[in-house]
Amino acid sequence: RGMTEDSLPTELMQLKLEGTELTRTETKVLRLLARGNTLERTAQLLGTGRETVKSQVRVARGRLGARNTTHAVAIAMSLELI
């Protein structure tokens, strides 16, 4: 997808080496958000509540060391997790 291990920034390389993973649900949530869906729409599509989606994003951000949701999506894309 364009980025080789040699071109990954140090922080991303460390996450890759640590084998950072997301749960199936976290992956679905970040994928839907990456496609431009809002938290509300993502919740609707997954048949869950907005607060549940927010919680899943918060956990995914923590796993990825992301500052915010956009950063989490960018990291997950760079690591080819989504």
Per-residue pLDDT of the chain (82 residues; tens, 9 = 90+): 444 445 556 776 666 656 678 999 999 999 999 999 999 999 999 999 999 999 999 999 999 989 999 999 999 999 889 9
pLDDT of residue 3: 47
CB 33 within 8 A of CB 43: no
Q: What is the pLDDT of residue 4?
A: 47
At residue 16, the pLDDT reads: 65
Predicted local distance difference test score (pLDDT) of residue 2: 47
CA distance linking residue 59 with residue 66, whole number of Å: 10
pTM of the complete model: 0.80
The answer for residues whose C-beta is within 8 angstroms of residue 81's C-beta and 6 or more apart is 20, 21, 22, 27, 30
**Do 18 and 60 contact (CB within 8 A), yes or no?**
no
Tokens of 68: 């915010």
